[in-house]
Structure 1
Amino acid sequence: MNKKNLFRLNLKKTEASNTFFKQGCVFLCLFLLSFAPHALATSKKEMPGKLEVQQTRRTITGVVTDTHGDPLPGVTVQVVGRQGGVITDADGRYLIEAAPNEELRLQFVGMKPQTISVGNLTTLNVVMVEDVELLDEVTITAFATQKKESIVSSIETISPKQLRVPSSNLTTALAGRLAGVISYQRSGEPGNDNAQFFVRGVTTFGYASSPLILLDGFEVSSADLARVDPDNIEQFAVLKDATAAALYGSKGANGVIMVTTKKGIAGKPKISFRADARMSAPTKLLETVDGVTYMNLYNEAQFNDNPLLEPYYSAQKIQNTIDNLNEYAYPNLNWYDIMFKPNTMNQHYNLNITGGGTVVKYYLAVSYDKDTGILKDNKLNNFKNNIAIDRFNILANVTMDLTPTTKMDINMNSIFENFTGPLDNTNEIFASVVATNPVEFPKFYLPDEKTAYVKHTLFGSDATGGMTNPFARMVRGYKDGSMGRITSQFSIDQDMDPVLEGLMARAKISIKNDNRYENYRAYDPYLYNIKSYDEFTDTYVLQQVHKGTDALGNPSITREGEFRVYMEGGLTYANSFNDTHDLSGLLIYTQEESKNTGIYRPEDQTIQRTLPQRNQGLRARLNYGFMQKYLAEVSLTYTGSEKFDRSHRWGLFPALGVGYILSNEPFWSPLENILPNFKLKYSWGRVGNDQIAGAADRFFFLSDISGAGGYRWGKDFNSYYGGFNINRYANPMITWEIAQKQNVGFEVDIFKNRALKVILEYFTENRKQIYQARANLPATMGLTSNVYGNVGAVKSAGWDGSIDLNHSFNKDAWITGRFNFTFAQNEYVENEEPEYRWPYLSDIGWPINTWKGYVAERLFIDQADVNNSPRQELGSIPQAGDIKYKDINGDGRVNSDDQVHIGYPTVPEINYGFGLSGGYKNFDLSCFFQGQDRVSFFIDPNARRSNPDRFGIAPFAGHRGALKIIADDHWNPNNPVSHAFWPRLSATVNENNSQQNSTWWLRNGRFLRLKTLEVGYTFPNKWFQPMPFSMVRVYFTGQNLFNLSDFKLWDPEMGGNGLAYPLQRVYNVGLNVTF
């Protein structure tokens, strides 16, 4: 880009940034100041009345109990219309001053609030009734809350208790628990074990397909969500359809996950403490062959390649290895046992306190997690190479009633983390264990005469020093670092009833400061090999095959950071008229700015990475209910993103929904004892997605130009003229993806006590304007880079639903249950691709995330079978025992034209879960099963990592190690099984067998897993008297205890990533105390 234009762009961006921020601050200041006259006027109106009331007040006393006659401590007692109040003591008693013409308002969590006239009474004893549906009545929606009965959107909620699993990562609890959420976990590595999740499946093949995540209304990443402690969650909801997500405009197309943290509850301080001790171990371990088996198999592979060669491993070497003659000269290693522990111990603690009075209420919490990996620490170095993470979460929510009509909330949410680990990626370390054979060299040698005085470790290697020693790789260095993330929120809610009953004004500002520091240090290991070995003296002579370094090198330091400011202000309204009309709505303005504060690499010092990212929006919604039977909702969102040209920067996103509660009709009365609630609902809307490319690829309306090679000219070509390269062509037409969503469904409660609740919904989505490279541009245009456009399109559809059971047999016995499922399919509608000769090669009509490959029929039986089959032109001349592929187009040849779409997508189309919980007196038991179906993955037969998500398992090429299943089930001339697991063994890369995607290596990824099992016991309170404990519970929890699957090689949930850090089985013992 021209430097002058770049300067102008930066200047304009800086000025725009200042204007953007100033406008937001002015807006919020004016908005907040508008409260002052109203509050002052309210105070002035109340002053004469207060003076008059004070003359007639008298003391009112009483006791507040529940329906069993037990006193209720911590009940808030207030005089209606006056600020302040009192709280009942430990015996449920209260004392307050009130006038005869005033009313008392009593509130307590879990109880129905009551308003009582004082009259001439001086003693008012109150019995409060439990509100069993209180928490279920209100659901968080976009920018507000609504009664569940009036919602026509598709919103899935879950009790935070169900998310409490023995893991420090919240995302690992999502799979199978929420209808409409597809989730899976590929790795069990602490700190990198986030599950991937999608709302109603993958609906785009663009850059971002994950949902928008909001924590207390503030956008966060999936890594932030992973670190939320379930003990601090008040509500967890998933917004699935257009009416639920449309208010998020250009960010809501992939669905929205909303999490709100707990707020303070008025009453005496209530303290809760939880402690968990966890033991983690892999759910499944890969089995490799022992040294003797390996050598015999390698010789067989070499014989298959060339029968004339002498065996690579002599009979003497094999016998000496069997005899364990010398563990260094004739090693026979189990690399897994050398490098990894069978299990590891982790810890979790949470301490929270809530309480307050009628003016100030608070919720304070601190959590601590200690997570460690299963890598073995060693004594060779003065540093640790195992994974170790120490994490503190600190949450403070304070609510203050500044006046009877003004409420202020302050939220502080902080995460501080220290971590250490090996220098190399742990997935690569695990894969190297399989890749390294057990007989080539030991992990290190004991010194011989020449090396007796060296100070470095004598790591083993082959004679060339070219083979990787996985142990040396693991211990050659370390990384450590820290992370700090502080999110602060400040909001004010102003009751505007004197202006208009039901009107509420609010303003909020949120600030996030995120910083991460990492330090990498390494040394280069010395590598040795045995030059000679004397069997008579049992001594060896070493030779150095690679010279390393004696000390750790200088640190390599990286820093990352982000600073984000979010501002929100607007009006909400809710009111009812004549018990017939229910009207509510909102009008919200938002703006957000984020800036990367951790730029350190030269390649990141671009305008795309350094300039702030901003968006603004105006959102409106109107809800109407008639006679509590007919429901309607309309919303309109107008949002803008600075990523796009002015002509395509702003977008309008409408949505509408209708509902019909049949059970409130008079004709339904004969069914009300069986089906007390039945609601139909439908929604339609358009939502956007501006996350069409990474942070380094913004401002699509600008070209990206850099210096490049030039040319020489003039006499003797001694004049050089530099050139330029266009990395991206400007396109002012680029804009966001558009998702048009529809949803239809019903909700029904069964039995008079509503013991069963059933929800079933059908949904469709048409996604268009997907950003991708154009594929059909002629080479004669002379373009130096791809041209991109909003040209892709996908359609998807599916079903999701849930069944909830909730029943109490008596005061001692209860049972709850839940079943939910999600079935989501998609297919390409428009996709830039070459003009294929054969139509079946096109992706149109096929699902996203499916693979093309060859159809494997069987293994060739003999050479005659090879000669009589279509010619396979895949790089290697096939032999008996190689894979025989199908000639799809019938031209007598097998080549790239014979690849077809095979298997299911790599993202499951079906997720489901079911579980039961029950209790009798003080004992409780719960279990939960999770499963997935219609999903495929590949076992990668390559001799290397050929895909970011897959590690190759091919043995022997380059003396790689071998899995036990290959030894147990492979083709050989003496056992020519046409459907053996592994084809003919080869000591080289067999392109016919190992470098082709085919149905031979395709596996069904379906499974059913016992995700969690918990047994608990709550001690009777009388056991701990006179100690102030209100609840003491101990429990045992197991996670990932077993799974049922046709695939036995590794945990099927890992997909093709089976050679990576394994998923973990967890055994947890916990204690929960409340006082």
Structure 2
Amino acid sequence: MKNLLGIRRIFYYPLKFDLKMKIATLFVIFSFFQLQAFTSYGQRTKVKLHLENEPLESVFEAIEAQTAYKFFYNLEDIDTGRRVTVRSDGKQLGTVLKEIFDHSGTDYKVVNEQIVLTVRRKRKTRLSIRYLQDMVRGTVSDEKGMPLFGVTVLVKGANIGTNTDENGYYQLSVREASTLIFSMVGFESKEVAMNGRDEIDVVLTEENTRLDEVVVTGYNTIKKEHVASSVSEMNMDRAVYRPIFKLEEAFSGTLPGVTMQQSSNLPGSVPGNIAIRGISTLQNGSPLVIVDGMEQSLTDIDPNQVKSISVLKDAASASLYGSRGANGVIIIETKRGVTDQFKVDIHSWTAISDPIDLPEFVGSADYMRLNNEARTMQGQSPLFTEEQIGLADRGEYTDRDWLDEVMERRPLSHNTSASISGGGGVGTFNLMLGYITDKGLNNSEGSEKFSARFNTNINIADKFVLMADFYAHRLQVDRLMVNNDGHGLYRDAWKMNPTQDIFYDSDLPEHYVLYNNLNPVAAINHGGMRNNMYDRSTINLRPTYYINESLSLNGNVSYMINKSAWKEKRSTFKFFDGDGKPAATWANSVNAEQGVSVSQITARANLNYEKKFRQQRDKMYFIAGSEIMTYNYTDYREVSKASFFGKLNYSFDNRYILEMTGRTDGSSKFAPGHRWGFFPSAALAWNVHHEKFLSGLKDKGVINNLKFRLSYGLIGNENVDPYLWQEVVNEWGWTLRVPNPNFTWEKQKQGNIGLDLTVLNNRLNLTAELYSKHSYDLIYSRVTVPPLTGSDRLEAAVNIGEVENKGWEVSARWSDRSGDFSYSIGGMLFDNKNKVLKAGYSKSDSLIFKDDPDKIWYRGIAIDNYYGYESNGYFQTREDVDATEAKLPNTIPGDIRYIDQNGDGIINDLDKVDLGDPFPHLNYSVTLDLRYRRWDLSMLGQGVGRRLGRLNGLEGYPVLMDNRDNNLGTPRTYYMNNRWTPDHPDSRFPRVWTGSSPNAVLSDVWLSNAAYFRIKTLQVGYTIPKIGKNINNFRLYLNAQDAFTFTRWEGLDPERDGGNGGYPRMATYSIGLRFTIL
């Protein structure tokens, strides 16, 4: 009892009001069925008590010991020392309570299993009640009678608000004749007029699978129940209420059909590539991103400023964007102010990062043995003596981990964002400020970003509203000159070996040792710095004139400009050899450049028509308009586009939905006569749950929503460089690129079938989809053409290919609550199969990518498939090598035996075959959300069931080769333990080598299973509904991101292939807080 009293004291400590106000501070009334439930339970509950002249506290303890009830009261108001006598040989609990409190001045009410005691209120005249009508209190519960914790209670039209506590209780000072607004995520908001009452109990209804919500599908919003195309919405709580540096990270494992392969945690870089429903082009395959109606980049957006994210995945939804929507469309709405609600939102977190998936290098002794082993097998003299190896074994020789020397293993990052919003009769505003620092893996590097967004809604006239938005950010990225691409420093560290020292053993200051002009530590301290600056500014004006209640005229004029600049500086630094003689000099260097500036102007005008028909049973949405866009670059490039579009959405009796879209686009990127394209689409949907034959199941809550969807459409793609159709001539007058007068759009036909199902009183939600995409007239910009006189290399940009993508998506979520405990479990699984239908001028042609000869494109396989040699074990002896005709030059025992596919006795490009698909398959994720009173726990796990990864380069081969003076890097212990030797002829990998090797080409030996499961996010939080008068929803949380990975991948990070070393993946551990000031 004492512990419970202590807790109660926190929750019910008296406020600083006069005595009359104190009398009115406790919650007392619940809905009728709750009281009925107590009556029933109380009639069944009997107690046996024999207490003579005992204090009330002892009576409470005796009742709590015999029943499931607990007493709650204000210690200042209830005299627990008052002595009473209770005799009961099995009386009903209600009778006992009545005997105790009937003449005591104390009232009691039972809420679920809680007996709430309050001071009995005296009757007042009507005049006195009106006089005290400045305090309102009550409880908020759900439809099951369970109290709701954390409900926001606001006074409409005033800057006053509070939140309910664990028992659903609230208390608020208000003006007379006020209206209260009750809102909570997952429940429908409710407005309640006070009408002279000082106690108001409210029951909130759970949202009916959000069918009444609107979805942003293009240039307008449509009720979710009326959507027939494939549109997915991101759970914003999961996406942005966790520490993420860039918005791209929010797409990992959160939306079916959307993959985000994270390639880097490098500060100031794009973290990865987003693909929607597979790869459909050889050009830029990134989806179109629309922010508040204008095209932008995901990397520019502060996650704290985002209100909603929708993804348009099929042609019926994306075709409104025509030639820009072939790779899918991501629509983002940022936060705006609310009328009569001034508030300040703060979110701040601090994170510490830890590099994961780092290589475990061999030590000096093993390195020496491996080096000697490789040289001996290649007929060279050993480099290290047995004496040196012995010293290394005893720890008396240099043993250096160069990656460890150049890394700060625990870099700190910080983010703070603030939002100041409000509004009145003139309009609303929201000023959002953001600041984020992301430190790199050494003290010199990192990024720093400032951003500001000012969104306004201005009521210019009775029917005229202007949305005027302004945005600007500055990103500064500081990198070492040796590390300009973010990876050079770490590649150089990989090239070093553990026997090499940083300094000579001498008295000279900073007497660095140079190895082939390399010393990564010297590069940090004296290699110079490069400072990169990126600025972006946007102005976005969206006027709307409401002609009548159904028809409006909308406009959008936006301007965006990107500017970049860089400067680098390095002071002169001299190196000396071991004898103190000058050896090399890094010369003084100062450079700066104003980078390419890009500006974008967009102007759009459209009519929106929205009206209900047939006694409100039908509803029509219609939009029609036009758009022009221009892009200007400081390198004299310019692109212009023009478009005309229209879309009709008709809902008949809320059961049958029809969508029809058409868009005509023109682009200067294509040859004259081929610049215009028309892209139509259509979609149908059937809301089966509104049919009479399901009314019985619907009334019982068995089926809440059942919808079938079908769509088909044509969409274009113009994500190519400008001027590809034109001729290119070098300075000597030789033609390098042949003009193509037939150069035109890539096109894509898409079909989609979908099912949306909600059952069991909205607890289980299921969505399933099948789709097919046929892309044709695909562009490859480097097709070889027959040579002309005077030129030995000719290329052309040609519409040359066809690709098919077929896939499926399934997602499900179960949500429920029991008392103060609520939970949600979700998951999704999706896959895509990509197949090339045509790869040249005819369907029998094949195409090897010039920029990556290890990938091929031909009929029957997927885009980007690995293209290399198939192996058949390793050569075991010199005799085995000599007896084999088909082999690569310089083959020796321990090298890979490649299969001579055509039997011509030669291993060459004609023997290369398709080795597999690198794209991730069977993508899945699982989510878990738990909430108990003020505590919450969430988890997001994301994985790939099948992916073929490549071990390559410095990161992949058993011994890293440099070719410069046989300067070897350091091999990983995993490869050392799995290499071929005469004693281990069946090992996983071939022999070790120095210099060049016939093993260093793509073959199936270097492909490995890269499936994985990763705990993307694990977060625990605690929320305090109200602190003092003004601070609301104060939440403190701890978060771990990318902390655990389960995989059989033989490389480092299963999301990216092994390469030449680089910036490692980071696990991030953070502590954060967010709160609102009203």
What's the offset of the Cα at 1:529?
Answer: 3.5
| CA spacing shift, 1:310–1:418, aligned 2, 3 Å | closer
2:563 to 493, 497, 515: 515
Alpha-carbon spacing, 1:422–1:777, altered in 2? closer, same or farther (3 Å): closer
1:737-775 deviation line (CA, Å, top 9, x unaligned): 111111011110011x21111111111111111112575
Per-residue CA distance 1:84-133 (angstroms, 9 max, x = gap): xx777884745789xxxxxx998979786889999xx9999998764643
* Contact preservation (8 Å) 1:62, 1:126: no
Q: Answer whether contact 2:140 2:202 (CA < 8 A) is retained.
A: no
Contact map agreement 1:872 1:895 (CA 8 A) in 2: no
Counterparts of 2:975 and 2:318 in 1: how far apart (Å)? 53
> Secondary structure of 1:458's partner?
coil
Q: Which residue number corresponds to residue 262 of structure 2?
A: 185
Q: Distance in 1 between matches of 2:784 and 2:160?
A: 76
Unpaired runs of at least 5, structure 2: 1-132, 142-147, 163-171, 849-854
Kindly state the Cα deviation for residue 336 of structure 1 after the two structures are TM-superposed: 1.6
Residue 299 of structure 1 aligns to a residue in which SS?
A: helix
Match of 1:461 in 2: 514
- Structure 2 matches for 1:672-821, cutoff 5 A? 672=698, 673-693=701-721, 698-708=722-732, 724-751=733-760, 753-773=761-781, 777-779=785-787, 785-810=794-819, 812-821=820-829
- The separation in 2 between residues aligned to 1:699 and 1:837, in whole angstroms, is 26
Q: How far, CA to CA, are the matches of 1:108 and 1:64 in structure 2?
A: 17
2:546 matched residue in structure 1: 495
Which residue of the other structure, out of 454, 458, 481, is the alignment partner of 1:400? 458
3-state SS of paired residue (1:993): coil
Distance 2:934 2:180 in 1: 34
* 1:284 and 2:357 aligned: yes
So what's the TM-score if we normalise by structure 2?
A: 0.79
* CA contact 1:856–1:884 (8 Å) conserved in 2: yes
1:183 and 1:911 in contact (8 A); partners too: no
Match of 1:874 in 2: 888
Letter in 1 for 2:590: N
For 1:493, the aligned partner's letter is T
**Is the CA contact (8 Å cut-off) linking 1:65 and 1:128 kept in structure 2?**
no
1:436 aligns to 2:484 (yes or no): no
SS of corresponding position for 2:382 = coil
Counting only pairs closer than 5 Å after superposition, residues 497-896 of structure 1 correspond to structure 2 as 497=548, 501-523=549-571, 525-530=573-578, 541-549=579-587, 552-577=588-613, 578-596=615-633, 599=634, 609-672=635-698, 673-693=701-721, 698-708=722-732, 724-751=733-760, 753-773=761-781, 777-779=785-787, 785-810=794-819, 812-832=820-840, 843-867=858-882, 870-876=884-890, 878-896=891-909
Residue 374 of structure 2 aligns to a residue in which SS? Answer: helix
The question of 1:194 aligning with 2:271 is answered yes
| SS of residue in 2 equivalent to 1:871 | coil
Provide closer, same or farther for how the CA distance between residues 314 and 631 of structure 1 changes in structure 2, counting only shifts above 3 A: same
Q: Distance in 2 between matches of 1:861 and 1:363?
A: 72
CA–CA distance in 1 between the matches of 2:1025 and 2:930?
18
2:436 aligned to which of 355, 369, 380: 369
Q: Distance in 2 between matches of 1:469 and 1:117?
A: 74
Is 1:299 aligned to 2:358, yes or no? no
- C-alpha deviation, 1:931, in angstroms: 0.6
Q: Which amino acid aligns with 2:771?
A: F
Residue 896 and residue 271 in structure 1: after superposition, are their counterparts in 2 closer, same or farther (change >3 A)? Answer: same
Aligned to 1:986: 993
Alpha carbons of structure 1 residues 640 and 112: separation in structure 2 relative to 1, 3 Å = same
Q: Summarize deviations over 1:685-710 as a string: whole Å, max 9, x none.
A: 111111123xxxx23453233420xx
Structure 1: gaps spanning 5 or more residues: 1-60, 78-85, 98-103, 378-385, 531-540, 600-608, 709-723
Distance in 2, Cα, partners of 1:815 & 1:970: 46
Partner residue, 1:1065: 1067
What SS does the corresponding residue of 2:366 show, helix, strand or coil? helix
The structural deviation recorded for 1:821 is 2.5
SS at match of 2:920: coil
CA change 1:762–1:782 in 2 (3 A) is farther
Q: AA paired with 1:133?
A: E
- What TM-score do you get using the length of structure 1 for normalisation? 0.79
Q: Aligned in 2, Cα 1:495/1:74: closer, same or farther, shift over 3 Å?
A: farther
Contact 1:74 1:266 in 2 (8 A): no
Corresponding residue SS for 1:526: strand
> SS of 1:830's equivalent?
strand
Question: What is aligned with 2:950?
Answer: 938
Q: Check conservation: 1:860, 1:978, Cα contact below 8 A.
A: no
Aligned partners of 1:253 and 1:688 also within 8 Å? yes
Q: Does 1:1015 align with 2:1066?
A: no
In structure 2, what is the equivalent of residue 478 of structure 1?
529
Whole-Å separation in 1 of the counterparts to 2:576 and 2:226: 74
Give the superposition deviation at 1:1030.
1.6
Distance in 1 (alpha carbons) for counterparts of 2:845 and 2:871: 22
AA at the equivalent of 1:505: L
- C-alpha displacement at 1:977, in angstroms? 2.9
* AA in 2 matched with 1:900: V
**Hey, what's the Cα distance between the residues in 2 that align with 1:166 and 1:141?**
28
May I ask how many residue pairs the two structures share in their alignment? 908
Query: 3-state SS of the aligned residue for 2:894?
Result: coil
Q: Counterpart amino acid of 2:281?
A: T
Kindly indicate whether the alpha-carbon contact (under 8 Å) linking 1:214 and 1:220 is maintained by their aligned counterparts in 2: yes
Distance (Å, rounded) in 1 between the aligned partners of 2:886 and 2:858: 24
Q: 1:109 to 1:363 in 2, by over 3 A?
A: farther
Give the distance between the partners of 2:889 and 2:839, measured in 1 at CA. 30
- Identity in percent: 24
- Match of 1:555, SS state, is strand
> How far is 1:1074 from its partner?
1.9
CA deviation profile, 1:434-474 (whole Å, cap 9, x unmatched)? 2112224x2233545xxx5xxx8432124xxx352222334
Amino acid at match of 2:638: P
Amino acid at match of 1:444: F
Deviation at 1:1063, TM superposition (A): 0.8
The one-letter amino acid paired with 2:887 is E
SS in 2 for 1:676: strand
Question: Does 2:335 align with 1:262?
Answer: yes
Separation in 1, partners of 2:219, 2:601: 17
Please give the alpha-carbon distance, in whole angstroms, between the structure 2 residues aligned to 1:973 and 1:624.
Answer: 72
Alpha-carbon shift at residue 142 of structure 1 (Å): 0.8
- Aligned-residue RMSD, C-alpha: 3.2
Aligned to 1:423: 481
Query: 1:369 Cα shift?
Result: 0.7
Q: Which has the bigger relative contact order, CA under 8 A and spacing at least 6?
A: 1
1:955: Cα distance to partner?
4.4
8 Å CA contact retained: 2:347, 2:1073: yes
Structure 1 residues 483 and 64, CA gap change in structure 2 (3 angstroms) = farther
Is the CA contact 1:160–1:235 (under 8 Å) kept in the aligned structure 2? yes
C-alpha distance 128-504 of structure 1, shift in aligned 2 (>3 A): farther
Q: Of 904, 909, 917, which residue of structure 2 is paired with 1:904?
A: 917
The aligned residue for residue 236 of structure 1 is 309
For residues 424 and 958 of structure 2, what CA distance do their matches in structure 1 show?
63
The yes-or-no answer on 1:411 pairing with 2:479 is no
Change beyond 3 A, Cα 1:113–1:310: closer
1:123-138 correspondence runs (5 A): 130=204, 132-133=206-207, 137-138=213-214
Alignment of 1:29-178 (within 5 A): 68=140, 74-76=154-156, 91=172, 93=174, 130=204, 132-133=206-207, 137-164=213-240, 165-178=242-255
2:856, 2:1037 → 1: CA distance? 55
1060-1069 vs 184-193, which moves further:
184-193
Q: Is the 8 A contact 1:803 1:818 kept in 2?
A: yes
Inter-partner Cα distance in structure 1 for 2:152 and 2:925: 38
CA 838–145 in structure 1, closer or farther in 2 if over 3 Å, else same? closer
Amino acid at match of 1:872: A
Q: 1:245 to 1:626 in 2, by over 3 A?
A: same
Which whole-Å CA distance do the structure 2 matches of 1:193 and 1:66 have between them?
Answer: 50
